[in-house]
Amino acid sequence: MKNSTFWYLESVDVAEIFCDNKIAASEDASNSHLKLKKNEYVYFPDETSDLIYFITEGSIKVGTTNDAGKQITKAILNRGEVFGELAIIGEDTHRDFAIALADTEICTVSVSQMKHLMKDHGPLSMFFMKLMGSKVLQMEKRLESLVFKDSKTRILEFIVDQVDTRGQQVGYEWVIRNQLTHQEIANICATSRQTVTTLLNDLRAQNIITFDRRRMLIRDLDKLKSEMNV
């Protein structure tokens, strides 16, 4: 299975742009490297949006909190992914929060520097167009799933997607490290923690998966996928 996390690195060395000063030709060469502990926030809603972030290690959750105080997870981002890109098209303050789900390392570039680089690097502009377009398609797919699919299918699809984007193959099995809590999975899949726990325990009883607080092991990926049609 091809890991799709790095699809946008094919034509642009984004890691070098974010984490190396060799391309920094502008006066505002403010490249920065951040190390975050688990549960440490990158930014909060209403904070100034003037940086773009690239994850070199770890994972980040982007979400929001509604008026009732319920937290809504919008995206789980992993190594090799970029976030905060809306600042390029005029977002002055963040609408969401971003928090580290594990010990995480991030490189940043200021919006002014990135705009300068985009003027001279056509592929870089195309990269951000693809990135934003991809996120729109992901949100549309998620909306369709919420409307047309039941909670069991949404959870199963989420696990399969995690294998595709974060999974490491070990023999015939797949391991997902830095496993999300049942509540975090429930937030993403728009269901209850109890529903997630019940389904995961059922899959474990069938020896399709096994899990603990640190990782999930997919023992039979084909059988897991077949459960979506049951």
Residue 10 reports pLDDT greater than 70: no
In a shared domain, residues 21 and 61:
yes
pLDDT beyond 90 at 116: no
Buried b (16+ CB within 10 A) or exposed e, 173-184: ebbbebbbebeb
Q: Encoding tokens for residue 137?
A: 């398609």
Q: Are residues 133 and 160 in the same domain?
A: no
The verdict on 140 and 100 lying in the same domain is: yes
The pLDDT tens digits for 51-91 are 999 999 999 999 998 888 888 888 888 888 899 999 998 88
The alpha carbon torsion through 22, 27, 28, 29 (nearest 10 deg) reads 20
3-state secondary structure at position 3: coil
* pLDDT at residue 92 is higher than 80: yes
Strand order in the sheet with 168-170: 168-170, 173-177, 215-218, 209-211
pTM: 0.74
Where among 146, 174, 209 does a domain terminate?
Answer: 146
Domain that holds residue 56: 4-146
Instruction: Give me the CATH number covering residue 118.
Output: 2.60.120.10
Contact 107, 42 (CB under 8 A): no
- Residue partners of 17: CB distance under 8 A and separation at least 6: 23, 109, 117, 124
